[in-house]
Every structure is written in structure tokens, then in C-alpha cells.
Structure 1
Amino acid sequence: MQLTVDTQQGPVEGRSREGAILFAGIPYASPPVGILRFAPPALPVQRANLLEAKEFGPASPQLPGDGLTDSHEVNWNEDCLTLNICTPSPDQTKRPVMVWIHGGAYRHGTGSIPWYDGTRFAKESKIVTVTINYRLGALGFAKIPGAPTSGINGILDQIAALKWVQDNIENFGGDPNNVTIAGESAGAFSVATIMAMEESSGLFHKAIAQSGAGHHVISKQEAQSVGKMFMEKISATSLEEAQEQDVQKLLHAQKYVEDNAHKIIEKGQLPFYPSITKGHLENYPITLFSEGASSNIPVLTGTNTDETTLWGTNQIPESKLEKWLKNYVANPEQFISAVKEDRGDISAGDIALAISTDHAFRIPAIRMAEARANHGGQTWMYEFDWKSKAFNGMLGSCHALEIPFAFGTLGVNGTDVFLGTTELPHELEDTMHTSWAAFITTGKPETNRLSNWPIYSSKSRSVMRFAENTELINDPWPSARKSWEGIR
């Protein structure tokens, strides 16, 4: 069994794991430290010796959060620009490739999470899965004076990884001419952002955006305001001084800015997101899609019915509902009425859940599909509606719950907290996983089980609803959708 592969930087050695071959912790760029901190990714270092690529590399520096998905400590280091490859065999067979971009609000996460294990893709569908780490938080997105790309470096890291894949994946059994970029949440925001950038042309051929679309970047002015607050907090007056700071100090300054960003940018917007940057990202991705960007790229996208339960929105009481909704909309009443028209007389918490899910996730996905359709772009839309049994059902079909269904990793470490049952829904897992594999392979998500899945159009608005009984539906929650027209 071949475990050693040549790359343009030198040979690497992987390991056999559960019927597939794993290569882990391979650098795709130089360590972004010293004078390379806040700089665009630099080419990886050449090596003469064999690199043992058997253990995952460290994540980007990050502070633990307080949610179900981000509260644990992770191994991190500023030298974090590595990728992992799971392949059926590192031979010369040209297999479809998926490059997965992890989520985590651009401040948490790593490509080595067990949910993202590509073993089933490799064994059953002969797909090569690549997962990556990229710079997060202030290190990836703080706009620093004297560092022109600093507001978008995290995305440039992802593009550097895609370039490395183009140059090297053939030696790992992958086809550089059949690459799908995919991600969830901030990973899906990243997918949409990459699609909107001309410099990514030719680096991928299909895209999957799970719970994320083209609205989630910040303006140049917002980025400059955030960068100013960040620089003041670390007491730095120049790029060189910022590059000399201890990384822990940067992380704590990042947290300070996150806690105080409402004073300088739109309420509810996190500060360390990709920003519009001349020569790289010329406008909001949704605007560029409306002008035809990446209309030649087939896209699979969708959202979960109850995305924002993960942040407790369904616990909002009646007495606070309208005030809370003003975080999202100026006139809550019209949106409340629309949601009730679709769903009946539901609780205040469920109203808050529906409107916040629409604002952050569903409506942006619809707008992306609509914009693409106007230029002939093919988009397949889904809604994930399997209800978690965890916490007495309070999570519902929450944010991120669909990931192990798509990867076929139900039952791996960490999924039990979200599923809340030992009777794992393997039939739905199989249905979704084979659909994702079909799209990665052919550019269409149709399978024997899902033989009729039309592309999304403003006429039919066909959506595949994945649930206990998976079915194709047209225009789900239509009143709520219409309530956002001209607003988002």
C-alpha cells in the first residue's frame, strides 16, 4: 500500500485509517508569523526531507466560546496553514475532490473535527476529501494600516489552499479538474465569497454552501473602524508594532472588539469578517452574483428549519419579542404576521426563531439562487428539517445539525449531544450523503432515491426537504419569504 507521495514542496508520508489513506498537517503556505503576520499567504517552504503527515496540524489561534459547538479548548498555533487529505488511494486515478472549509463564525474551528471525516466519501464514492485550517478572527480579518489585504487574509488562505490542491492533488488520486468547494456557516460564507472573487477562477468547478450565502461580508469603512479599535486596544500605532505583539494579547483584544463592535458597526454584525478589498473582493458577493459572477458554477445550497435555536432564540418571551426583533427589522409586526400566516398561532419564541433564521440564513440563500438564475446559474436548494431529540427537543433542526448527515458521520464523537438519541437516523443520513456525493461527482444532487430534484427558479421555488419523510416541496414558508422582498 502506497503511503508516500511527492508534492511540489517535497515528499509526505500518510497513514492507513479505516480503509482509506489519511495525510494530515501538510503546509499549503508558509507560517504566517513575524513579518508574515497580517500579510497575504506566502508560498510554502521547500523541504528536502520526508514530512510525516500523520497527525493533524494545530488550529488557528482562538479563544473558546460559550456554545455547544465552540466551548472546548483546541490545540492552536499561529503556524496553522495546513490541510488534510483523505483519499481512497494516492495513485494516478483521477477522482472527484471536495475541499471543505470549516465554520465557526470566522473565530473558532478547525478542519480536523471528526464530523468532517471524509472516510465514507473515500470508501463508498471514491471521493478525495480535503479539509483546511485558515487564519481566524483578528489574525485573519482585522484591517491593519499598512497591510492592504489584512481584512481578507483568511479568505486568501483558503484560495492558497485551492491553488495547492490544483498543483498537487493528482498525486493523491484526485482530479484537479473536478473540484468542489464546500462549507457550512462561516465556511459557506467563505464559499460564496470565493465564488465572487475573480482570482479564484479555475480553482474549483462546483460549490456547496450549507447555511450561508452571499450577504456576509463587511464594508471597507466598517473594517477600518474595527481595525482602529483593535489597534488602540493593543496599543499599536503601526503594522510593525502589531506584528510584534504576543498572540494572547491579540486574542484578548479581539474579544474586546467583539464585545464593543455594536458601537462602531451595524448591530448584530460580528467585526472580524471578510471585508470588501480592492483588487480582491470588489463588492458584496450577492451584488456580484447579480452581475453574473460564477454563474457557470453549479451550486448546492440550503438551510436548516430551526437554525438559530443554537443561540436560544426560541426562548424569547412575548414581552420582549418586538424589541428583540428590532435587532433584525425596523417594523417587526409585518414579519410576525407573515410568519403566523405560514405557521399558525405559534409562540413568541418560535416567531423569533423563524424570523432570525430567515434573516441570517434562508433569505440570503434564496437571494443567491435568484441572482444566479437570472444569469443561467444552476442552483439546487434544500431545507434540513430532521428534529433533534436533544434537550427535550429544544434544538429542533438547529444550525450545523445537517453536517454529519452530509458527511455520513453520524455516531462519531460529538454528534450524540446534538442528536439526543441512540436510534440514529441512518436512512436519512444515507439519503443525504449519497446526494452530496452525487453532486461532488457529477454536479447534480440527484440519486436513485432523489430522482426528481429540479433546479431552483423564481417560478417553482423547488426545495428538497430532508426529514423523517424526505420530499420535494415548492416555495416553503411563502408569506415569510415575501415579507423580506425589497428589505433583504
Structure 2
Amino acid sequence: MNSEKHKMQTILSQASSMNIMAEETDMSLTLETPVGKINGKVVKMDGKYVGEFLGIPYSKQPIGDRRFKFLEPLDEKLDHKVSPFLAHRKGNSAVQLQQGKFWDTKMPVGEDCIYLNIYTPLGSEPENFQKLSESKLPVLFHIHGGGFKIGSGSEPMYDLSFFAVRHDIVCVNINYRLDMLGFLSYPGVIEDNLGLKDQQVALKWTHENISAFGGDQDRVTIYGCSAVQSSVRDEMMSWTKPRMVRILGGASVHYHTLSPESSKYFARAFASSGTVNRLWSRFYRNDHYKKTLKALKMLGGPKNPTAEQVRDFFINLSVDKIKERQIQAKDFITQTKVDQSVSFIPVDEFEEEKLPSKSRMAQKPLLLGVASDEGTMFSDMIFPRKDITKPTWCRQIFSEFFGEKVFYQPLRELLDEISSIPNLPVFVYLFDYKCPTRHKDLFPEAEVPMHFGSFHSLDIPFLFNLAEKKSYLMDPCESDKRVNETCTTMLASFVKSDDLSQFPLVRYETTKKTVNKITADGLTPVGSDCLLPKRKALAFKTITASAMLLMAPNKY
């Protein structure tokens, strides 16, 4: 146990020390909060200080008999044993598969994953640190992506110190339950969508406590960027079954805009590369029930079980057994034909509603974004090959079709739904920058080659101000820096502006469907035609391309 703890601390220390923009200091900062005294570390960046309060538990951990239950509030304050509570290291990320791919988390994982990290700008004068609670700065609340199966708010790419210190914004990252532990459910004994409810609990915790960290509880913006997990190749061929693609990050944000309970705790929302208005970002309740029974059989559970037996079996299942099931479910990445039907994503809470957004959407400003080459990376996930560095006609066609069906068409339909809602400011951007910079820890050429273009999630490091200067993640070129300036200023302005008439993006309206295009030359308002497919007869061409990719993926 001690060796595992030491290993975890070593990994996190290495991740922190790679940041060459930040200077470690011998200072720390203790804050009086509603949940007890919390001590965070202080780092210096470009002459200013940032307080990093890491690994704060926002509820009891869902372990033991609390597995598959709603999160329970902490009984005691965080400093009841040791005062102050030391928040110097990030907590565990959720249990998930770790295969060493660049998109897999390198963070330690465990069932005890209910933690958040807070990054607070402190200014340049240490003697003023204790006045923090008077600041009332705007807040960015970030929900990580990963297809409901992988990911972590503690990833180096989500280091929000860069953004916090540049823009005087308090930032929050969270971890929450994923896959089976977060989304398996069974009628009467295991509730639906526990992972999404975890996010909701973290959002409420932030509302109740962020003022102690200098944040304004009434000026919280939630942000998430999608990450997609797809079913196996055979299912991908059947586009008449629209529930085969699961989206997270941006879709999580969209979900919270539809939830009256969530919408009490934020003022604005920013969802990029993912929405829940299409059925393939949700899963029908009856299908989810069948999936649970299939997992029960695969893992050696009882035959013809009662509901209580189903619950008890999954509660007593070892984490190692859960990981074995995940390996079986996800080996599509390593070219093994698998049964993806035992991995878990949210149950559809709007099953009776074809267009839930129009009737449920919170009347709060909304920023939506998408990249210009969303589908490029997924053809190599769905049809793996040995060398992904060379583009082919088949993969280009499939990528365009995937991007259209999973990202652009849902976005267009969502905009058609909500652009006519009175008093709902909506802004849209298209990220169209093919970043020339590659780095082994962020954009390794062997995993995301240049021909992927402006691929899915590429905008994240530019939004989070990671390309302003040389850092442990990037050595940016001049065009990277210009795009960074456009993106990070856009996000900061959306979070901070009291008057959105001063926001640099042009509003999307029914009578004027404006999309704001981000390139190396800056921000340009264009028509919504940029969200339409680039090729004619794309569906017909995809049938041919997919058949060829199934037959000989290494050739085509």
C-alpha cells in the first residue's frame, strides 16, 4: 500500500515539475472554508502567483457498500483529523483502462476518485493573499471528456494555472465515476447516470464553497469538450442504428443546461464538440437493461437473478475484474474484434422527447464550438492499421462522414432548435487551425499525424493558454501563439464579460446564422455553410470506403 502511494506521489510530482513556466515557491496558503481549513501550495508564473488546491474530496468516496449509490456528503470537515487539510497533490482518477495510448490518462486511478482541483490567481503581492475571499472573481468549471470511459481532470493538458493567472479567473477541474462504476444501472436497485450526478454534486460543492477561494458563486461558467468512444467496426457500418456513438464533455455540459437541478449552479455554459440532442449521445433504458444482464453473464454472475442479487454481485466485484471486462470491451483499438456492448454510458433521461433542448434549455448564455476536421482521428480508431501517418481516400471519406454524423449535423440541428428561443444568447465558433507543432506528450506525430488537420479537441490547449509561451506541453511557433491569443481571450471574455454585447464573437440568430471562424489570421465571422459537408454523395461514398477499410485496413 505504501509503495503504491509513493508511486502515485512520484508520478504527480514529475507531472508538476515538467512545467517550466511555473516556479515552485516555499509558500503555501491556508484558507478558512465552509468545509474546514484547507492548505494549498503557491506557484509563481510570469511574476504572478497562483494558489493550487489539489485533491479536495467533494463527498464521501463511493467505495465498499457505497459503490453504485448516489454520493453522500462528508460527515465531518476536511480538517477534522489534521488541520489544515493539505491539498498539495491531485487525487485518484476514476477506474479505467490504461493501454499507454496518448489519449489514456497517466494519472493513478482508483474507486476513490471523487476529487476536484482549484486554481486561484493570487496577484503579485504575497501580503495580499489573505484578502482572497474578498475577490469575487469569475469561475471556470471544467468537465473532462473521454467518452464516459476514460479521462481525468488532473491531466497535464488540463493544467488551468496558465489560464487562471493570465485572466484572473478561478478555475476548477473535477474527477467523477466512469464506465461501469459510473453508468451501470438496474431498475429498483442501482440508479441511473451516477457519473453525471457526480458532476452535479461537484457543481453544487463549487457553488457553496468557491467564495472562500476568491470565486463568485453567481458567475460560474461550465465548460466541457467532447471525446468520442465508438462501437466495434461491424456496428459502425450500420448508420441506421444511431445510438452507437457516445459523446462526453461537451455533451455533459449540454446535459446540465437541460437539468433544472444543475442550472441553479451556473451562469453560462460552453460546450465544444458534443451535444445530447441526437440519440447517439444517449442510450435507451431497455437497451441499457439488456447490457447490464450481458455484463452479468460475461463476468460469471448468477442465472435468473433477483434485482438484489444483481446489485450484490456488482457491488462485490473486484476492480481487477472490472478492468478485465473493460479490456474485453475496448480492444478495438488494438485490432481485436470485440463485444463493445458491455461498456456503459448514460441512460437516456429524455427518451420520450425528440427535441429536449427547446423545452428544457436553461435561459443562459451558451457558447458552442467545433473543429473543422472532427472525424479524422476516428477512422484509425475504428479501422486500426500499422501506419497511420499516410492519408488515404477511404479514410478521408469515412472521416468526413463520421464528423458529419457525430458532430456537425447534431450541432446544426441543435442550433435550429434553440436559436429561436427568446433571450437565449448563442455563439458558435469553428476552430480551423492545423497546428504545426508536435510534442511527445501532447500531439505525438505517431498518434496524431499532421494530415489529421484541425482534429477533435485540438482547440483545448489554445483555450487554456498553454501555447502562449514554451511550456512542458508545447514549444509554440508564432502562428500557435496567435491562435492561442484568439482562443484564450475568447474563453476569458465569455467567462468574465458582464455585457455580452462586447463579446468578440458575433451572435448566432435565426435571421443571421453566423459562425465565428478561428484561423491563424484571427477571428472571422462567416456563414453557417461552413458546417455543411464538403463533398456530395458522402453517404454513398462512405459505403464503398467502409467496405474497403473492413477488407484491408492496412492497405486503405
So what's the TM-score if we normalise by structure 1? 0.82
| Greater alpha carbon shift after TM alignment, 35-44 vs 305-314 | 305-314
Q: Which residue of 1 aligns with 2:259?
A: 197
Q: Does the 8 Å contact 1:96/1:178 carry over to 2? A: yes
Matches within 5 A, 1:421-436: 425-436=480-491
The aligned residue for residue 109 of structure 2 is 76
Residues 1:290 and 2:368 are matched in the alignment? no
Q: Is 1:405 aligned to residue 446 of structure 2?
A: no
Of 299, 317, 326 in structure 2, the residue corresponding to residue 245 of structure 1 is: 317
SS at match of 2:347: coil
Give the drift of 1:257.
4.4
- 1:42 matched to 2:72? The reply is yes
Task: Give 2:39's aligned residue.
Answer: 13
Kindly provide the CA deviation profile for residues 119-172 of structure 1, in whole angstroms up to 9, marking residues without a partner as x: 2332232110000000011100112354342x3000000000011011100000
- Displacement of 1:442: 2.2
Task: Tell me what 1:207 maps to.
Answer: 269
Counterpart in the other structure of 1:275: 347
Shift in Å at residue 67 of structure 1?
A: 4.4
Q: Which runs of 5+ in 2 are unaligned?
A: 1-26, 123-131, 227-247, 302-308, 333-338, 385-391, 439-444, 538-556
Q: List per-residue Cα deviations over 1:330-363 (Å, max 9, x = no partner).
A: xxxxxxxxxxxxxxxx944333222211211122
Per the alignment, in what secondary structure is the counterpart of residue 219 of structure 2?
Answer: strand
Q: Distance in 2 between matches of 1:369 and 1:413?
A: 38
TM-score, length-scaled by structure 2:
0.72
Partner of residue 440, structure 1: 495
Q: Which residue of 2 aligns with 1:120?
A: 162
Please give the residue correspondences for 1:312-351 in structure 2 after superposition, counting only pairs within 5 Å: 312=379, 347-351=393-397
The verdict on how the C-alpha distance between 1:7 and 1:282 changes in structure 2, with shifts beyond 3 A counting, is farther
Please give the alpha-carbon distance, in whole angstroms, between the structure 2 residues aligned to 1:120 and 1:444. 25
The verdict on how the C-alpha distance between 1:131 and 1:445 changes in structure 2, with shifts beyond 3 A counting, is farther
Within 2, Cα distance between the matches of 1:140 and 1:430?
37
SS in 1 for 2:455: coil
- Partner Cα separation in structure 2 for residue 77 and residue 314 of structure 1: 26
What is the Cα deviation at residue 222 of structure 1?
1.9
Tell me if 1:32 matches 2:62.
yes
Q: CA deviation at 1:467?
A: 1.1
Q: What amino acid is the match of 1:383? A: L
Distance 1:446 1:110, change over 3 A: farther
Deviation at 1:93, TM superposition (A): 1.2
SS in 2 for 1:476: helix
Give secondary structure in 1 for the equivalent of 2:430: strand
Identity of aligned residues (%): 28
Give, as a single letter, the amino acid of the residue that structure 2 aligns with 1:473.
V
TM-aligned CA distance change 1:398 to 1:446, over 3 Å: farther
Q: Counterpart in 1 of 2:184?
A: 142
Change (3 A) 1:143 1:259: farther
- Give yes or no for the alignment of 1:165 onto 2:206: yes
2:420–2:510 CA contact under 8 A, matched in 1: no
For 1:232 and 1:428, how far apart are their aligned partners in 2?
Answer: 51
- The SS at the match of 1:193 is helix
1:427–1:388 Cα change, 3 Å: closer
Task: Tell me which moved more, 31-40 or 83-92.
Answer: 83-92
| Counterpart secondary structure, 1:240 | helix
What is the rounded CA distance, in whole Å, between the counterparts of 1:147 and 1:17 in structure 2?
Answer: 46
Equivalent residue letter for 2:87? A
Q: Supply the AA of the counterpart residue of 1:289.
A: S
Which sections of structure 1, spanning at least 5 residues, go unmatched?
A: 261-266, 318-345
1:300 corresponds in structure 2 to 367
Partner of 1:331: none
Which deviates further from its counterpart, 183-192 or 229-238?
229-238
Deviations 1:255-290 (A, max 9, x none): 434569xxxxxx9999421112xxxx3448872212
Of residues 130, 133, 152, the one that matches 2:175 is 133
The alignment yields a C-alpha RMSD, in angstroms, of: 2.9
Q: Counterparts in 2 of 1:80-95, with a 5 A limit?
A: 80-89=113-122, 90-95=132-137
For residue 91 of structure 1, give the secondary structure of its aligned residue in structure 2: helix
Q: Which structure: larger Rg?
A: 2
| Distance verdict in 2 for CA 1:43–1:478, change over 3 Å | closer
Secondary structure of 2:487's counterpart equals helix
